[in-house]
Structure 1
Amino acid sequence: MDLLFGWRGRVRRWPRIDGRRLPWGELDDVGDIKVISTEVLKGLMEKAARTPGVSATGRPEWLEEHRDALGDHYVVVFGPDSHDFYRCIVFSVLEDRPAGAYTLDMSRADFHALPDISPAELVEFAHRHLSAVPMVPLDPSQEQSWQRVSDER
């Protein structure tokens, strides 16, 4: 049974509207949020690049270019890529702000070996990503009012 805010046992889950039934079928691990270091991520990218049939290999050049400014990386399952692999989305943090997201295929065993996100990391993750959502532009009437106030100063 999923509880308030998606906690089920000790694993943090993305909220689900209709239980575990997804457009592409049932998949228990959709919703798990994992935390991964740059070193482990680099290793998983190299492993994906060497695995026949795997197409999502992350962004190794981008990772190397930003290596000194990277923080944690968060990983969620996007969907199954094949019987033994998940297509994952990796959210990378760059100098205390969201830096980008990209896909990476990894084996189900590798995904399960990653540590689950902690409640403190989840709050930090939410704050980073919520603060990066672009502001909705002012309505035209609001823009005119703001411009008048600005001109009066």
Structure 2
Amino acid sequence: MDFPILSDFHNIIDIRFLPFTCRGSRLTIAAEENGISLRLTDRLRSQDISSQIGQNLPAMIEEINFLDGDGNRLEYHIETYPHCLIFDTKIGKYYLTFEDGENIVISPPEKACGLSGIINLSEMVTDRRGGVAVAQGEDRTRLVYSTNRKILSHSIE
């Protein structure tokens, strides 16, 4: 247990059934069959807004998985607290928390590691520190990610 003072709240949240979020945020994190997903709760897609109101829309990022230094997918065990999620893998722990209502911080293990996922936004641009994904039209959703570590591999398919 990483936070003994919060032991009464350890693993109360099961993100397979109740998404993790923070007060005032529209972002939610949930565990799904193929990995973790990041959703914007009121997100509408401009392609066909009228037919999608009230329906489940695709996550902004789905199938988020943790990778080792060789790019292999890591198995993980999730620990939950009210303020953070801990993904315990064989190479160490990934910590995920909300910095505020719009920003999520992921603290990876010290060893070489990474993340993979499917970003469901129409345009994607990368740079030396991360990337920017946007959806155009009525939606105008913007997702920015960056790291202070050296990026060894960065691909868009």
Q: Normalization by structure 1: what TM-score?
A: 0.26
Q: Normalization by structure 2: what TM-score?
A: 0.26
Report the structure, 1 or 2, having the larger helix content: 1
Report the structure, 1 or 2, having the larger strand content: 2
